[in-house]
Structure 1
Amino acid sequence: MDLVKPIPRPSSTTRPFWDGLNERKVQIQRCDACDSWVFYPRTRCPSCLGNQLVWHEVSGRGVLYTYTLARQPTAPHFADETPQQLAVVELDEGVRMTSTLVNVEPSDIVIGMRLRPYFDQVSDAITLLRYQPG
């Protein structure tokens, strides 16, 4: 049985994030009211509840906050990707995002290692943000 991997379906709130990735840019929101960086995309700031969220391009660089190796597929669609290197990356701006690591052997993964974006175009409309050492 051939399984098609699920891909994100951008909403009006998340569209700028996905459009940025398609252009090989990482964009996250910042609240103009309290200067907090915000991720995941939303309509209100979680710090001050203001609605003055503005998209900003950032480097996307950060450090590995934590990770796990999923030796069993997280879903049948990902059986060809085991072990999956599932990660939480803390961007230099302070927000954390979940992703997967690429271009690194499991034995070389270290908490705190510097990471940089890897743009994985999975369809004409969607590019996923993964991370690699650097």
Structure 2
Amino acid sequence: MKNKITKLIGILTITFVLLMPIAAQAAGTKSFTFDMVHTLGIGTFTSTKDSVKGTVNMSSWGGDTYFTIHIYEKSGGSNILVDRLGFTKSSAGSPYTDTSYSVKKGNKYGYEIWKNQNKKRIKGSGSLSY
């Protein structure tokens, strides 16, 4: 009987360790980097809550002072713009954050970075907590 309990505990421990990355992914955070001139897709994710928080760290504004992350609801093959996260250069510096409450838990959303089409390059990294 003691051997069966020990085996069961071992199997449960191994299962828990194997499922940890899946649980972390389900938490709803996506990290990304960008080095872009006009627009860049971040990805499509299913929202795990009724908000999305964007945080970015800028290494170069490239002469620009503002950019947005567009949020598109993915439904039935169409993309509907539901909101934008806006980031404006300030003397306080990185990190920059913005939150949208236009998303709904369980729905699928696409995220894209957009900036002025002026051939100036911005660089940085960030995360979406959705």
Interval containing the TM-score (normalised by the shorter chain): under 0.3
Q: Which has the higher strand share?
A: 2
When Rg is computed on C-alpha atoms for both structures, the one with the higher figure is 2
Q: Which has the higher helix share?
A: 2
Structure-1-length-normalised TM-score: 0.24
